[in-house]
Amino acid sequence: MEKAQFTSPWLPYLLLAPQMIIIAIFFLWPAAEAIRASFFLEDPFFGTATFVGLQNYSDAFAASDYQRTAWFTFVFVVLVSLISLGIGMMLAVSADRVLRGKGSYKTLLMWVYAIAPPVAGLIGVMLFDQHIGPLVEFVAYFGWDLQVGVDYWDTGFAMIVVATWKQVPYCFIFFLSGLQSIPTSVKEASAIDCRSETRRFWTITFPLLAPTTFFLLILNITYAMFETFGMIDQIVKDQPGNSPVTLVYKVFRDGFRGNDIGGSSAQSVILMILVLALTVAQFRLIERRIHYT
Amino acid sequence: MLRTTLMSAATAALVAGTANAQTEIVLWHAMGGQLGETVNALATQFNEAQSDFAITPVYKGGYEDTLTATIAAFRAGEQPNVVQVFDAGAATIIGAEGAVIPAEDLITGAGLAFNADDYIPGVRYFYADSSDKMVGMPFNSSTPILYYNVEALNEAGVEPPVTWEQFEEIAPALVEAGYVPLAQSHSPWIMTENFHSRHNLQFATNNNGFDGADGTEILVNNDAIKTHFTKLKEWLDAGWYGYYGAGWGDNQTPFENGDVAMWLGSSASFGGLRNSTDFEFSATFLPYWESITPEPVSTFIGGAALFAMSGHDDTENAGVAAFFDFLASAETQKFWHMETGYVPITQAAYDLTKESGYYEETPQAEVGTLQLTQAAADWNKGYRMGFYVQIRDVMNREYGRIFAGETDVESAFAVIEEEGNRLLERFAQTTN
């Protein structure tokens, strides 16, 4: 391979600059500001701040529902990430096999992705509404008195369903393109060697999809953790009450609803550390087992 | 070419001239939908009634969104002249000394008349400071009242309850008739804050918080309210009380559907109920426990007030004063009250509405005002607590847990007290 060399030592930095500036303005600066604010309690109007050391952190952990919120967040993230991966993969494999009308299947399956998150939340609210929700009426036939907003896990169930529903098409798109990039020769060779379609899937297709799966897993976790608070706000109708909420929703609630800038910053710094640790762990543990072609 | 330039210059001068003559005032509010239309109508009336000022109302989303937007704007030096802030946010904006000009100072400063006694008792002090000076201009004020389905009560052969003791007597008959006897839409506001005002119980130290954020502690962990919630849980288990979550609408819908016989809501819910129900309903005062007090007093208001933001020049402030004066006038209040269902804030406006015969047709519309004009006492002027949005969240969560059987009344109120006090302490640190 031919190596290209920049003529000026400054040129690469110059070309990188736009990206770096964007990262600095939209990520590094707010993150630094959050870390600073997490050590203060400030008057929202004047920004006059009192240094309180680690009090915001200790108060965040001392809240009686912190543990429960963290636990729900964990359950929520794991279930939403894995179920949407599973369903997305299943649908992609099935759609890949369809010979006639492939295009319309794909379009139909991708449609949901075009729905804006608040609208998805709103549709979820309607489907799970205590008084008029069709899904509530449906499960009532099986003796399940589903009460979103009253029962803790019923509400959690609704959130997981709506969040998953929204993420499945995204996984579907990536899995489908992943499947299409598997060379036909490999597929044909495996078809000659093995008759069992299930076995072929697990030994050939699944490992070849691993890079896509890993990529989607990280994206799904980020989605479930950070991008779902709008939907959660819709489902709890702005009054979390005794409903399960995620850690990010609490950051949003305390910061933007309650004007507790210090407390909300401390909570977001905790999340930042958590996500950092999670990402490092993912790359260390999982990525090593993946072979990129 | 030259001519066009001259022409446009002349036009520009003309436009600038008219703009200079009228001072623009901006109002940020949180009234969506039909209420927003009524706010626009008020602005139009004000703009047409005089020529010095032109007010522009801007809808900024819900109450919390409006407050957050105001804070961001204030820090950037771009704050509007007037902003609508809700009851739970009052401590935040009043606590930020210098951010607002007290309404009373603004009005008297502009040479207009102001007399606190013109305002009905329940409204007068809610947005005032510790020396009773009115800081926020009461705007949309409502109070919790009991709505009842007339047909349901007739079917059961019972009268609407005045006390909770009476409720316990009539509830079995309503269950017999096939109804859930009771629901309510806002546990912190109706069953907590106004439980304290109705029974004249102190709600927080430091004069219910009015004397300053430092050292203010919530006094919610008392026997009276714990007995009340023990009863509510018993009623829930007996099918006398329906709890449909913390959301307002989820609890109102079963009443509108005719499943629930009595519903505690806002006096301002009247207009909406009139459109959404197809049965005859009426309203009465918020019940009280005779065992706690034989003499109930007036309740707190809920809703929001208008605050004049500092940092504007005298001309604009004069415009805000004129607008406040216009809002408090009997005619405007009567219009606002009849359009929206919020209570008229002055005695004169109430009298004017009464004279018009409005209450003879719709006696339900008068209940809120009558309740607010009941006896004034030590602990029903209002309360002032910071981070109150979060304190209400804690209440809603713990109440939900009581009703779900996840905790008992005793521990729930201990948690509310402890977390409430921690939040109050944190808030006091922000105002230092």
Q: Quick check: helix, strand or coil at residue B338?
A: helix
Kindly compute the dihedral angle of the four CA atoms of residues B34, B39, B44, B45, in this order, to the nearest 10 degrees: 110
CA distance A256 to chain B (A): 6
Percent of chain B with pLDDT strictly greater than 90: 87
Instruction: In whole angstroms, give the CA distance from residue B382 to residue B305.
Output: 13
Is the pLDDT at B19 greater than 80? The verdict is no
Sequence-separated (6 or more) residues with CB below 8 Å from residue B320? B25, B81, B82, B106, B308, B312
ipTM above 0.90, yes or no: no
* Bridge partner list, B304: B86, B140
Mean pLDDT of A98-108: 77
Q: What is the pLDDT of residue B20?
A: 53
Helix B388-404 with B223-238: angle, nearest 10 deg: 40
Q: What is the pLDDT of residue A193?
A: 87
CB–CB contact A240 B397 (8 Å): yes
What's the pLDDT tens digit per position in B185-240?
999 999 999 999 999 999 999 999 999 999 999 999 999 999 999 999 999 999 99
Look at B97 and B150; give whichever has higher pLDDT: B150
Is the pLDDT at B9 greater than 60? The verdict is no
Which B-chain residues 54-113 have CB contacts (< 8 A) with chain A?
Answer: 62, 64-65, 67-68, 71, 74-75, 89, 92-93, 95-96, 98-99
What's the pLDDT tens digit per position in A147-158?
999 999 999 999
Instruction: In whole angstroms, give the CA distance from residue B111 to residue B97.
Output: 24
Average pLDDT, chain B: 92
Phi, psi of A62 (to 5 degrees): -75, -20
- The answer to whether B255 and B266 have CB atoms below 8 angstroms apart is no
Average pLDDT, chain A: 89
Question: Buried (b) or exposed (e) across A156-193, using 16+ Cβ within 10 A?
Answer: bbbbbbbbbbbbbbbbbbbbbebbeebeeeeeeebeee
Q: What is the pLDDT of residue B17?
A: 44
What's the pLDDT tens digit per position in A224-283?
999 898 889 988 888 999 999 999 999 999 998 899 999 999 999 999 999 889 888 888
Q: What is the pLDDT of residue A99?
A: 66
What's the pLDDT tens digit per position in A155-179?
999 999 999 988 998 999 899 989 9
- The answer to whether B22 and B51 have CB atoms below 8 angstroms apart is yes
CA distance B416 to chain A (A): 10
CB–CB contact A239 B397 (8 Å): no
> Could you tell me if A148 lies within 8 Å of chain B, comparing CB atoms?
yes
Nearest to B351 by CA among B336, B339, B333: B333
Phi, psi of B282 (to 5 degrees): -135, -175
Kindly compute the dihedral angle of the four CA atoms of residues A112, A117, A118, A124, in this order, to the nearest 10 degrees: 50
B140's enclosing H/E stretch is strand B137-142
pLDDT band of residue B16 (cuts 50, 70, 90) is: very low
Read off the DSSP letter of residue B131. T
pLDDT band of residue B272 (cuts 50, 70, 90) is: confident
CA distance A209 to chain B (A): 44
Q: Which of A242, A256, A258 sits opposite B404 (nearest CB)?
A: A242
Q: What is the pLDDT of residue B12?
A: 47
Q: What is the CA radius of gyration of chain A?
A: 23
Q: What is the CA radius of gyration of chain B?
A: 23
Nearest to B35 by CA among B69, B65, B68, B62: B62
Q: Which of A65, A130, A263 sits opposite B426 (nearest CB)?
A: A263
CA distance A275 to chain B (A): 26
Q: Which of A41, A62, A151 sits opposite B429 (nearest CB)?
A: A41
Mean pLDDT of B106-131: 91
- Domains in chain A with CATH codes: 71-259 (1.10.3720.10)
Q: How far is CA A87 from CA A107, A167, A206, A279, B159, in A?
A: 16, 10, 14, 24, 57
